[in-house]
Amino acid sequence: MHISAAQNKAAGELVDLVAIKLGSGRAVHSETAIACTARLAGSLLFRSFGLSVQPEQPGTVVLSNEANEEGRQLISIMSAMLQQFGVSLNQDMLGGEPSKRGGAPELSVIESLALLQEDAMHIAQNNGLGLKEAAWAATMAAAFVVKECARNIGPEVGFNIAAYSFIEGCKTVPPTIGAKSTPLTEKKPWYKLW
């Protein structure tokens, strides 16, 4: 897999997005920041599958062969990025058991995606990335967040949260983009409440 300059740039912009949306002075709740970034990566990958989920409500779990096969790539990308960052992981502490995932994120899957996905789609579009390329960029961003949060929660806990959150993202129907937002080109009059 080749990482392009556009993906690298998008990954940095996604890290900034998470810091702005979740943080106060760039201080964030580690578990929430990792989970949100990884869920976003998984959700971008989910959207790349092109599955027909029109009647499904956001938050509905959708099982697919694509998620089973391609979701593993996100974990591989994160592992490679952590290795490149010089983060070593104790293999005995990796796994999906709740006790090894650390504290609970403060946002649900749907809340995480609703907070980030629209801006993330703009970042992907502005960098000329398709959905799968954007998912890989978001995975790189998640690896960076894991590295940055490792001193607070440990790299293995961060890895476990991200791995679980990738799965959540790539197997959950995301909120509709733009369903409750006003397009950037259309301003709502100050006196309108709806």
Residue 177 burial by Cβ neighbours in a 10 Å radius (0-12, 13-18, 19+): middle
Q: Both tokens of residue 75?
A: 């974990």
Q: Both tokens of residue 47?
A: 């959207």
pLDDT recorded at residue 178: 77
Q: Both tokens of residue 46?
A: 């989910």
Write out the chain's pLDDT in tens, 194 residues.
688 999 999 999 999 999 999 987 657 899 999 999 999 999 999 999 998 876 679 999 999 999 999 999 999 999 999 999 999 999 999 886 544 556 899 999 999 999 999 999 999 999 999 999 999 999 999 999 999 999 999 999 999 999 999 999 999 999 998 755 433 333 334 343 43
pLDDT recorded at residue 55: 67
Q: What is the pTM of this model?
A: 0.88
Which residues, in sequence order, are bridge partners of residue 27? Answer: 24
pLDDT recorded at residue 101: 57
Q: Hunting for tokens 């789609």 — which residue is that?
A: 121
Among residues 68, 84, 82, 92, the alpha carbon closest in space to that of 34 is found at 82
pLDDT recorded at residue 2: 81
